[in-house]
A and B are shown apart, each in its own frame.
Chain A
Amino acid sequence: MSRTLTIKDIPREERFAPGHRMCQGCGAAILMRHITKAMPKDAIIVQATGCVEVTTTLYPETSWMHPWLHIAFENAAAGASGVEAALKVLKRKGVLPPEKDVRVVAIGGDGGTFDIGIQALSGLLERGHDVLYIVYDNEAYMNTGIQRSGATPFGAWTTTTPVGRVWHGEWRNKKDIIGIALAHRVPYVATINPAYIPDLYMKINKAMEIKGPKLIHAYSPCVPGWRYEPALTVTVARMAVQTGIWINYEVENNTLNVTTPVPKRKPVREYLRLHGRFRHLTDEEIEKIQEFVDKQVAYVNKLAGKEVIGPVEK
């Protein structure tokens, strides 16, 4: 994929049926709609339990138009490995023609990937199965009622990190899933954001062409869990990129390429004030988050070899 895709290149045909029960303004619904459009029509989706899974497949109905397999919370990656191995065997036995290339995609939420499914994911990446793993990250266990996960960022309110006299929201930092994937020396790792859809298409298209294990980390705003107005989903997602909280990049063969450069960053305060889950933060805590983001940006700039994410605009 050499040409830059634009909004006009998005195919019109829907591959993800409406009528699913995801919340008003769900960020994951935007992601899933475009991920299914970007995939080949015969790709097999293996999905872990999570918000998207329980809201799209209420028996006897399904929103999916791809071959779709339900897998328990912890083993989407293991199931996808099995599907990929079975396809190889079917080709060897002559059931499938050897030139037929069926892509396998595993989709999991942040709980099913960062915490419960990390062992299966590590196994998939280590064994080198030809699978694309997409993690949609809404930064807590939203499906069961906003419990903290390994992806919950510092300071966030959840029902298991409440705000009161003793606790002040989550006190631990978010797990670096991209770093974990890169430690397995995988050929392709990327991050996507629902506010930057053409970028999502380029990354999924590229991942579909690459052989081997791939991980895509998707930012997925959650209206009830993050406590913001449904209409602000895309605004929140865009603000995350503009403040440097989220960086859209891809790592291909150990070369980091930032796909959405931000010449002038906004202060993180502007991102945090959009969320009800951050409303209790004090100035010192916001300063701490700003320092953390500055460090993350400096690290990415160093890997990219130039200043792609600029300094904070005053």
Chain B
Amino acid sequence: MSAKLPSWKEVPVGAVILEPGSTRRYKTHEWRTLRPVIKQDKCIRCRICWMYCPDSAILELDKPYVTAASRKYEVTYDVDYDYCKGCGICAQECPVKAIDMVLEVR
């Protein structure tokens, strides 16, 4: 929470929110007790975890990756640990079980 709230003279008329997508400022990672970890060598890039994530916390990156079995992929899926709430849908839906839910220890 911000220390000082703006006065009524400073907020826009009608309390309009002028910045789209500004909830990005609020990180929801503290909700998590289990963290998803993607095993890049096992992942088949099917896009299912990315599609079903409720928090847009699976990132689709244009980062080439060569697996241990020397299979080359153009995209990499990675978890955005700032926003992941740890629901585990990605691990549940992964067809090759390439996502592990690991206990978060801080």
Contact = CB atoms under 8 A, between A and B. Distances in A.
Given A60-B15, A64-B20, 14 more contacts: A17-B23, A18-B24, A18-B57, A18-B80, A19-B28, A21-B28, A25-B85, A29-B54, A30-B54, A60-B17, A61-B25, A229-B88, A233-B52, A233-B87
Nearest to A30: B54
Interface stretch (A6-14, A90-98, A171-179, A208-216): A6-14
Contacts of A235: 92-93
Given A7-B47, A17-B22, A18-B23, A24 B31 contact: yes
Nearest to A60: B17
Contacts of A25: 54, 85, 87-89
B12 to A, nearest CB: 9
Interface of B: 11, 15, 17, 19-28, 31, 46-48, 51-57, 60, 80, 82-83, 85-89, 91-93
A10 B51 contact: yes
A279 to B, nearest CB: 21
A33 interface: yes
A189 B22 CA distance: 33
Main SS class of interface, B: loop
Contacts of B17: 57, 59-62
Interface string A20-44: 1110111101100110000000000
A63 interface: yes
Contacts of A14: 56
Interface in A265-293: none
Contacts of A113: none
A206 to B, nearest CB: 20
A62 B89 contact: no
Nearest to A27: B54
A14 B24 CA distance: 12
Given A24-B85, A232-B92, A17 B46 contact: no
Contacts of A49: none
